[in-house]
Structure 1
Amino acid sequence: MFFKTNWLPRLTSRNCLLYKSLFIKNSFIRSSSSSSSSQSNHNESNNESLLLKEIVKQIQFTGPLTVNDYMRLALTHPKYGFYMRQDVFGEKGHFITSPEISQIFGELIAIWIMYQWQQYSNGRQLDIIELGPGRGTLSADIARSMAQFNQTRQSLNDFHLHLIEISPFLQSIQHRNLCDNEKYIIDNNNRKSSKTKYGQSIHWYQSIDQLNQSKRQSNRFPIFIANEFFDAFPIHKFIKNSKQQKWNELLIDYDEQNRRLRWIQARNETPMLKLLSLNGHFDRYSSSNIEHIEYSPTIFVTIDKIIDYIEQQSIENDNNDDISGCILICDYGFDDDNKDNHQKDRDTFRAYYQHKQCDPLLNPGMADLTADVDFASIRHHVLNRPKRMLNKMIHCFGAIEQRQFLSQMGIGFRLKQLLQQQQSFNNNQHPDNKNYSNIQKELISSARILMDEMEMGIRFKFMAIFIGNEKIKIEKPVGFLANE
C-alpha cells in the first residue's frame, strides 16, 4: 500500500544487478538523528557585529562592494564567515541537504558512480572527489555502499575518497563522521589523510588548486561529485535600466543615516560589466523580458580547473583513447534552454537562517547566502571550451529534474527494500515494538521530499559532464535516459 504514489518508479533491468550486489545483504538503515554544535545568541551577535564592521570599513575605504565580494566575506571570512565556524547542516543547522534527508540519495549516487567506473575506467582504480562535502553525510553513504560492492568487486579495494573543503571546522566534523576514532596524518603540503570506518583511503584539500598540486597516483579514474556546491558560489548581479536600455551592476553600499547595508546601482561601468559586454553575454537576453540576471565567474573557473585535472590525469596515465573522468552536478537552479523556464526573471539571490528565508543584507556571516545555478550557462561554457589537451572532447548531459534522475536510478526499489527490512527486523527481534511504523513513515516521507514536485523533485537538477577522446561515442548515462 506504500507504493501507490505517482513518483515511485519501476526498477529497470539495467540497474538490477548492481542493486542485488549492494542491497540484498545490506539491511543498514541510517539513523535520522544528527548532532550539531551551535553558537550562543551572544556570540552570534558579536560575530555579526565584527564582520559588519569589517564590511563597512571596506566600503568606506574602497567604495561599494559587488555582491561577489560581499558573499566571499559573509561565507568564507577566515574568522567570521558562515561556513568557517559552525555546523550549518541538518535539522539543528540552517538548511538540510538531500543526503541529510535520506540515505537513499547517497546510495543511488554510489550506484551511478559504479556504472561509470565499470563502463569507462578500463581497469583504472577509482577516485571519488566530493566538492563541499558539508558534514560528510553523502561521502559516508557512498563509502558504505562502496564497501558493500567490495564483496564482489575486489578491484575496488584501492578506491580513494577525496574531499575538497575550505572550512577547517567542517573538515573536523567530516573526519569524525567518516573515520570514527581513526587518526589522520598531515603531509608537507598540509594535506590531511586517514582511513574511513570502511577501510578506504580518504584525503582532505582546502581547494581544487591544492588537489591539483598534490602528487597524483597513476592509473586512476576520477569522478567529481558536486552536490549543492555551486549555489554558494559568489555572483555578480545586473539590472537593466528600462529607460536607457542598458545594463548596470547592482552593488552593496552602507547607509550611514540608517546604519544598515543597502542596494545601489553602479554609476559607471564596472570591470565585470565591461567584460561580459565584450563577451556578448547580455546578447542572450536582448529579445526577452528579463531585466535582472546573475553571473558567477567562479563557477566556470572551478569547472575549468576540474576538467584540467581530469585531462592531465589522463595524459599522465597515458590513457588518451579512453574516457578520462566525469563530473556529476546536483543543485537547485534553472536551464534557460528549456522553454518553460525562459521567461523567468533571474533575481535568485537570497539568505537562509535556521531554515527560514531572510534579508541577505542583514546579519552578514550569520546566514547562508545562495543563488540558483544557471545550468544552461554551464553547458554553453563547457561545450565551447577551447581544447587544452590533444583530442579531448567534452560531453554534457542534462540538466534534468532530480525526480527523473532518482526515478531512473531506482529510488522506489530501494525504498521498498528498506521498508521490508525494517519490518522483518522488528518482527524477528522486537515483535512488541510499535515504533517501527514511525520509522517506515519517516523513510517514505524523506523519499517523498526528494521526489515530489512541490518539494525538491523539480527544483533540483542533475547534470553530467564527461571528458574523453573525441573519437569515443558516449551514450546517455544511466539517470539521464529521459528526454532532456
Structure 2
Amino acid sequence: MNHGLKRGTQHLSKQCCQPRFLRARSRRYISDIVKKEWSTPLAKILADAIRTTGPISIAAYMRQVLTNPDAGYYTTPSSQSKTEVFGKKGDFITSPEITQVFGELVGIWTLTEWMAQGRPQNGVELIEVGPGKGTLMGDILRTIGNFKSFSNTIETIYLVEASAPLREVQKGVLCEPDAVLEEIDIGYRAINKHTGVPIVWVEDIRLLPYNDKTPFIFAHEFFDALPIHAFESVLPSPESEQKQQQQQQIMTPTGPVELNQPGKTNNSTSSGPQWRELMVALNHKSVIEDVKDEPEFQLSRAKISTPNSLILPEISKRYKYLKSQAGSIIEVSPESRIYVADFARRIGGFNNSTSSEQALKKKLPNRKPGEVPPKPSKIENQKKKARPSGAALILDYGTSSTIPVNSLRGIRQHTNVSPFAFPGQADVSADVDFTGLAEAAIEASEGVEVHGPVDQADFLHSLGIAERGEQLISALSDADKEKQRNIETGWKRLVDKGPNGMGKLYKALAIVPENGGRRRPVGFGGGVVG
C-alpha cells in the first residue's frame, strides 16, 4: 500500500500543536532550514510537510518512510546495496534467510493443518503478506511439493506486495528465469516453477476475493512494519482545556468531525486524564542548531486531543483501563487490526448479517430529510462461509500479553539506529501487540479461534527443528565442515532464548477454524488429531 500523508485525520494544524515561541523561532530561522543539508531526500519532504501543517502522527511518518513511492525504504532500492534490504548485503537478515529449515517447518505446519481439517481435495489457496525476497514461500512450496496429495490441491498462490522491486526479486525466486509478470485486473500474474499453479501479486489483501476456498495465510515479520499511533495519558492543564473548547470541529477526508458533542462525555470534556497523541516533529537541535549526529525529527506530545486520540484508544478495554492512570503510554496499530480481521474472515467467514447490520446502524449518524443513505460496504454483503477452513500463521517479534510501549526502532546496516535517522534509507518497525491481534481476529469472525502466542523456540522445537538440522548435517560429507557449522549455527540461532537469540523475542500466533476447543494446532500444544 502506498499512502500519502493523511493530514485531516493524522494531525492538527500548526497553530494548534506548537507553542507561540516555537512558531516565532521557526520563522526567524526559515532560511537556515531551507539551506540545511538533509540526510535523505525524504527527510526534506517530511520536514516541508511538518513546517506547513505541524507535527504528524507516527503512523503517517512510518507510511512515508517505508512506502513512499519515490523514496520509501521498501518501494525503492536500499541505500546500502542498491538491490537488497534483506540478507547479509542488506540492512537485516530474517529467519528464512538464516536457514532453509525455517521455511521447511512452516510448510510442514501447513500440511498438518490441511490434514487436521479433513484433507480437502481442492480449493486450497496460499497467501503470504509481505513476502520479502520470496525465500519463505519458496521453501514452503519446495517442502509441500514432496506431498503430492496436498500440493495438488493448491489452486492459486497470492503474494501481497506493494514494492515493485521486491516483486521482481520474488518472481526470480519462485518462477522460471524467463517468466514475465502479466498485468491483470488486481495486480500481476506468473506461474510458479514448483507447482505449476498461478502466482498472483496484489498490493493489498483486500483486493483478493472472499470465497469458500481454504486459505493458508502466512505473515512473517509483516505486522512489525505496519504503522502505529502512540498515546500518553495526561492530566489536562487549564490552558489545554481552554484550547480544547475552542477546537469544536476539525475537517477530515470524510467531512467535518465534532470534537465536542453536546450531552456526551468524551476524551475532550472529561476532567480526568486524557489521551494525548505522540507526534513526529522537527528536532531543532538538528534542523536549527545543526548539531552533528542528531536526527532531524523527534517525538512531541500534542497539546490537545487529536481525532486519533479520541477514537483509537477506545477500541479496546485494555486501553481504556490505562487511561485513568496518568503517565501510561500505549501503542496502537489500527492497520494491524484490519489485516488480522481480514485473515479471520477468510478462514471463518463473516459474522451473520443481522448483527452486522445492527452494529452498522448504531455507528451511522442520523440522516437529514431527503439525504441518501450510504451504500452497504462489500463486507456487509458477505455471507458466512459454508464451512470455516484454512489457517493463518503469524511469526513476528513483540509482547505476549502487555501493550507495546516505546518500541519504535530503526535498523541500518545490521545496526540499531534512531527511527528518525536517515528516513527512507533505514528500516523502521515496532513491537507487535499479539493480544491485540487475537482480540481483533475473534471480533471479526465467529468461525475462528486463536492460539498463542508461543515463543518461536517452542514452536519450532515441536515441529522438529533439531532433528531436521541434524538430518541436513548428516547428509553432508566430512569435507563440508563449514556448511555443517552454518546449518547448526543457523537453526540454533532461531531457537536460542538468550539475549542475542531469536527463540524468545520472536513469537508465533495461529488462527484456525473454531472447533469448540477439541483440538489445538501443532506447535501450540496439540496435534493433527484432537
Task: Please tell me the TM-score bracket, short chain as reference.
Answer: 0.7 to 0.9
Confirm whether residue 438 of structure 1 aligns to residue 482 of structure 2.
yes
Deviations 1:90-111 (A, max 9, x none): 0111111110111000000000
Partner of 2:451: 397
Partner of 2:33: none
Tell me how far apart the structure 2 counterparts of residues 290 and 127 of structure 1 sit (CA, whole Å). 46
- Pick which of 94-103 and 242-251 moved more: 242-251
Change (3 A) 1:349 1:318: closer
Tell me how far apart the structure 2 counterparts of residues 296 and 312 of structure 1 sit (CA, whole Å). 23
Equivalent positions of 1:85-124 (< 5 A) are: 85-86=76-77, 87-120=84-117, 121-124=119-122
Equivalent positions of 1:13-412 (< 5 A) are: 49-86=40-77, 87-120=84-117, 121-150=119-148, 153=149, 156=152, 158-189=154-185, 191-201=187-197, 202-212=199-209, 220-241=213-234, 245-254=273-282, 255=284, 256-258=287-289, 260-279=296-315, 280-285=317-322, 291-311=328-348, 320=385, 322-336=387-401, 342=402, 346-385=405-444, 387=445, 392-412=446-466
SS of aligned partner of 2:133: coil
Which structure: larger Rg?
Answer: 2
Tell me how far apart the structure 2 counterparts of residues 47 and 198 of structure 1 sit (CA, whole Å). 46
SS of aligned partner of 2:519: coil
- Consecutive unaligned residues of structure 2, counting only runs of 5 or more, are 1-36, 78-83, 238-272, 291-295, 353-380
Tell me how far apart the structure 2 counterparts of residues 165 and 345 of structure 1 sit (CA, whole Å). 26
Tell me how far apart the structure 2 counterparts of residues 314 and 177 of structure 1 sit (CA, whole Å). 38
SS of aligned partner of 1:304: helix
Residue 267 of structure 1 and its aligned partner are, at CA, apart by 0.5
Tell me how far apart the structure 1 counterparts of residues 518 and 109 of structure 2 sit (CA, whole Å). 15
Q: What is the one-letter code of the residue matched to 1:109?
A: V
Deviations 1:179-204 (A, max 9, x none): 13141342441522222222332221
Change (3 A) 1:177 1:291: same
SS of aligned partner of 2:483: helix
Change (3 A) 1:421 1:182: same
- Identify which of 506, 511, 518 aligns with 1:460: 506
Residue 324 of structure 1 and its aligned partner are, at CA, apart by 2.2
Deviations 1:66-99 (A, max 9, x none): 0000000000000100001122000111111110
- Identify which of 474, 477, 480 aligns with 1:420: 474
SS of aligned partner of 2:42: helix
Q: What is the one-letter code of the residue matched to 2:208?
A: L
Change (3 A) 1:411 1:188: closer
- Pick which of 191-200 and 81-90 moved more: 191-200
Residue 227 of structure 1 and its aligned partner are, at CA, apart by 0.5
Deviations 1:49-72 (A, max 9, x none): 321121112112221110000000
Tell me how far apart the structure 2 counterparts of residues 187 and 474 of structure 1 sit (CA, whole Å). 44
Tell me how far apart the structure 2 counterparts of residues 319 and 293 of structure 1 sit (CA, whole Å). 34
8 Å Cα contact 1:135/1:174 also seen in 2: yes
Change (3 A) 1:270 1:281: farther
Deviations 1:360-412 (A, max 9, x none): 11111010000000111112222234x5xxxx422000000000100100111
Higher relative contact order (CA 8 A, sep 6+): 1
Tell me how far apart the structure 2 counterparts of residues 364 and 349 of structure 1 sit (CA, whole Å). 13
Q: How many residues of Structure 1 are paired with residues of Structure 2 in the alignment?
A: 410
Deviations 1:302-331 (A, max 9, x none): 122233334569999999453322211000
Tell me how far apart the structure 1 counterparts of residues 450 and 345 of structure 2 sit (CA, whole Å). 16
Q: What is the one-letter code of the residue matched to 2:409?
A: R
Q: What is the one-letter code of the residue matched to 2:60?
A: D
SS of aligned partner of 2:308: helix
Tell me how far apart the structure 1 counterparts of residues 486 and 151 of structure 2 sit (CA, whole Å). 36
User: Under a length normalisation based on structure 1, what TM-score does the superposition of the two structures give?
Assistant: 0.78
Tell me how far apart the structure 2 counterparts of residues 317 and 242 of structure 1 sit (CA, whole Å). 44
8 Å Cα contact 1:160/1:200 also seen in 2: no
CA RMSD of aligned residues (A): 3.0
8 Å Cα contact 2:233/2:324 also seen in 1: no
8 Å Cα contact 2:348/2:387 also seen in 1: no
Q: What is the one-letter code of the residue matched to 2:341?
A: D
- Pick which of 181-190 and 396-405 moved more: 181-190
Tell me how far apart the structure 1 counterparts of residues 224 and 350 of structure 2 sit (CA, whole Å). 27
Partner of 2:357: none
User: Under a length normalisation based on structure 2, what TM-score does the superposition of the two structures give?
Assistant: 0.71
- Pick which of 290-299 and 167-176 moved more: 290-299
Change (3 A) 1:283 1:199: closer
8 Å Cα contact 1:47/1:365 also seen in 2: no
Q: What is the one-letter code of the residue matched to 1:308?
A: R
Tell me how far apart the structure 1 counterparts of residues 417 and 385 of structure 2 sit (CA, whole Å). 49
Tell me how far apart the structure 2 counterparts of residues 231 and 290 of structure 1 sit (CA, whole Å). 24
Confirm whether residue 450 of structure 1 aligns to residue 515 of structure 2.
no
Tell me how far apart the structure 2 counterparts of residues 149 and 440 of structure 1 sit (CA, whole Å). 27
Residue 243 of structure 1 and its aligned partner are, at CA, apart by 8.7
Partner of 1:476: 520
- Pick which of 123-132 and 364-373 moved more: 123-132
- Consecutive unaligned residues of structure 1, counting only runs of 5 or more, are 1-45, 337-341, 427-433
Change (3 A) 1:234 1:258: farther
8 Å Cα contact 2:214/2:389 also seen in 1: yes
Deviations 1:390-443 (A, max 9, x none): xx42200000000010010011111111011113xx6xxxxxxx3x11111111
8 Å Cα contact 1:59/1:65 also seen in 2: yes
8 Å Cα contact 1:178/1:197 also seen in 2: yes
Tell me how far apart the structure 2 counterparts of residues 212 and 178 of structure 1 sit (CA, whole Å). 23
Tell me how far apart the structure 2 counterparts of residues 47 and 327 of structure 1 sit (CA, whole Å). 42
